[in-house]
Amino acid sequence: MGLNVIALGGNAILDKIPTDEGQKEVVRKVASDIIEFIELGEQVVICHGNGPQVGNLLIQQKAGDSEKTPMMKLDTNVAMTEGSIGYWIQQAIQNELQKRSIQKSVISVITQVEVDAADPSFQNPTKPIGPFYTKEEAQQKMANGEGVYQEDSGRGYRKVIASPKPKRIVEKDAILSLVAADVITVCVGGGGIPVIKNQDGVYEGAEAVIDKDLSANNLAKEINADRLIILTGVDNIYINYNQPDQKKLEKLTIEEAKQYIKENQFPPGSMLPKVESAIDFVEESQKREAVITSIENLSNIVAGFGTRIVC
């Protein structure tokens, strides 16, 4: 039995129907695939994204923003969506376990991830988040010291925030205890809540978001996982994607993957961080592998499906 860290994207959960029930329905299907994978003798720790969910929450808070019901800070919004999505996954897995008469526990853990206050992304924020504003509204907010706003794809202006690299999973020891007890653990949701440790050793929330694939990679290394699985919208990675000479990749060495990155084969906003996380994980140990594939293909990974990054 191998220990697997599974990274599930927030966009995969908020697929077509943004309602509470619509997202829960997607998670129910994911839970079924995860339990089928566990029935093959695999152990799992599950991470998830929350990009569209935290964006929607910020839009809702803006609509109701007032002196009595003020908008929450970003780290709190990340925690709120980490909790809600973790609850959906936890409940769906519990119900699936009961349906199959499997005696196993599952829990979701609100997880903090330490980042470096000196990370260059804090000086050069680039990650758009939350609602759109007019140019005039954005300029007023910047004049009020409410952050940096940039034009986004011709649709208006959005706040841009830092996306620092994760340094350390704060709750690592608790997660390791759960893994040792063979508890199905959901953690590091949305990349984890970004926190900075001050000079007194006290953690404080940061106005930032962390890439969930990078945090999943950190988690996999910190708990000594055997495999990192990054679930996305396609069964395999492709080069020359959507071109006549498109080619499916089934197995990649680290060197081949790095060469494709140099050739700009992987879009920065989607596949690139997934491939970079996979490379970094595999480089830590020649016995490990990373797999990038679709949710539906999860139970086929043991048989060799998906794109595998190996030494």
pLDDT in tens, 190-241: 999 999 999 899 999 999 999 999 999 999 999 999 999 999 888 999 999 8
* Whether residue 1 has pLDDT greater than 80: no
Which of 127, 217, 236, 297 is labelled catalytic? 127
274 in active site:
yes
pTM score of the predicted model: 0.89
pLDDT value at residue 84 = 96
Section 140-169 average pLDDT: 88
Q: What is the pLDDT of residues 254-267, one digit of tens each?
A: 999 999 999 999 88
pLDDT at 145 (0 to 100): 85
Give mean pLDDT, residues 283-288: 77
Say which DSSP state 73 is in.
P
**113, 169 in Cβ contact below 8 A?**
yes
Predicted confidence at residue 243, as pLDDT, reads 86
DSSP 3-state percent helix, strand, coil across the chain (nearest 5): 40, 25, 35
Catalytic option among 11, 56, 95, 300: 11
Q: What is the structure's pLDDT at 154? A: 77
C-beta atoms surrounding 5 within 10 Å = 28
pLDDT value at residue 233 = 82
Reported confidence tier of residue 155, pLDDT bands at 50, 70, 90: confident
Per the annotation, the verdict on 212 as an active-site residue is yes
- For the residues 133-155, what does the mean pLDDT come to? 87
Residue 35's pLDDT is 96
Choose the catalytic residue: 10, 49, 55, 191. 10
Question: What count of other Cβ atoms lies within 10 Å of the Cβ of residue 243?
Answer: 9
Q: Mean pLDDT across the chain, nearest whole number?
A: 91
pLDDT higher than 70, residue 164: yes
Is the pLDDT at 287 greater than 70, yes or no?
no
pLDDT at 101: 96
- pLDDT confidence band for 72 (50 / 70 / 90): very high
pLDDT value, residue 280 = 93
The mean-pLDDT minimum among 14-18, 245-249, 291-295 falls in: 14-18
Q: Where are the beta strands (DSSP E) in the chain?
A: 3-8, 43-48, 106-108, 112-115, 127-133, 148-151, 157-161, 166-169, 184-186, 193-197, 203-205, 227-232, 237-239, 247-249, 251-253, 289-294, 307-310
| C-alpha span between 282 and 269 (Å, rounded) | 22
> Percent of the chain having pLDDT more than 90?
67
* Nearest one of 190, 259, 204 to 73, comparing CA atoms: 204
Domains of the chain: 3-114+169-310 (3.40.1160.10)
Catalytic, 11? Answer: yes
- Per-residue pLDDT at 269 exceeds 70: no
95-119 residue pLDDT tens: 999 999 999 999 999 999 999 999 9
**Calculated CA dihedral for residues 58, 187, 224, 202, nearest 10 degrees:** 70
Residue 183: the pLDDT is 97
User: Which one from 55, 212, 297, 306 is the annotated catalytic residue?
Assistant: 212
Tell me if residue 127 is catalytic.
yes
> Which DSSP symbol is given to 9?
-
Mean pLDDT value of segment 261-290: 86
